[in-house]
Amino acid sequence: MDFFQIISEDRIKKAYEKGEFENLPGYGKPLPNDDLSGVPEELRVAYRMMKNAGYTAEESTLRREMATIEGLIARCTDDDERAALQKKLNQKMLRFNSVMSKRGGKTNSSMFKNYTEKVMKKLT
């Protein structure tokens, strides 16, 4: 044990003996379940850092879905199906850019910027 850990432990022990922890909210109740309880112990720190930085699971899911749809569009031979996939991709891109703008992140598509401007022009 280093010196600071010994001092910390000593102060905690004295505060406990004085009863300073008895009036804390939640005293004597079990701790709430961690939202990362399903994540392996060695990955929890990384997940918390990502969460604190504003990275969300929804963002990751949307990125994967957009990549999948783009792959389907590239391989699609039916024009009607391609149009339906493009519409679905546009919806995912709108949602993705909404999520990114809420967290203050950049959207990575200049094409979408033009599309957004056109939509805003029509709406206003």
Each residue of 67-116: pLDDT tens digit? 999 999 999 999 999 999 999 999 998 888 888 777 665 555 555 556 66
Give the separation between CA 63 and CA 68, rounded to whole angstroms.
9
Residue pair 73/85 in contact by the 8 Å Cβ criterion: yes
Query: Mean pLDDT across the chain, nearest whole number?
Result: 81
- Give the tokens for residue 82: 């391609």
- The DSSP call for residue 34 is P
Give the residue, 81 or 32, on which the prediction is more confident: 81
Residue 24 is assigned to a structural domain of this protein: no
Residue 6 is assigned to a structural domain of this protein: no
Which residue range forms the structural domain that includes residue 82? 57-104
The whole-number average pLDDT for the span 40-45 is 85
Residue 21 is assigned to a structural domain of this protein: no
Residue 47 is assigned to a structural domain of this protein: no
For residue 95, CA distances in Å to 62, 112, 116 come to 8, 12, 12
Q: What's the total number of domains in the chain?
A: 1
| Residue closest to 48 by CA, chosen among 27, 33, 34 | 34
Residue 85 is assigned to a structural domain of this protein: yes
For residue 44, CA distances in Å to 58, 63, 71, 103 come to 18, 22, 32, 22
Residue 111's pLDDT is: 54
Residue at token pair 């102060």? 11
Q: Is a pLDDT exceeding 90 seen at residue 37? A: no
Residue 69's pLDDT is: 92
Residue 52 is assigned to a structural domain of this protein: no
Residue 49's pLDDT is: 83
Question: What is the phi-psi region of residue 19: left when phi exceeds 0, alpha when psi lies from -120 to 50, beta otherwise?
Answer: left
The whole-number average pLDDT for the span 47-60 is 77
Q: Is a pLDDT exceeding 80 seen at residue 1? A: no
Residue 9 is assigned to a structural domain of this protein: no
Helices (H), the chain: 3-18, 41-52, 57-75, 79-103, 110-123
Residue 3 is assigned to a structural domain of this protein: no
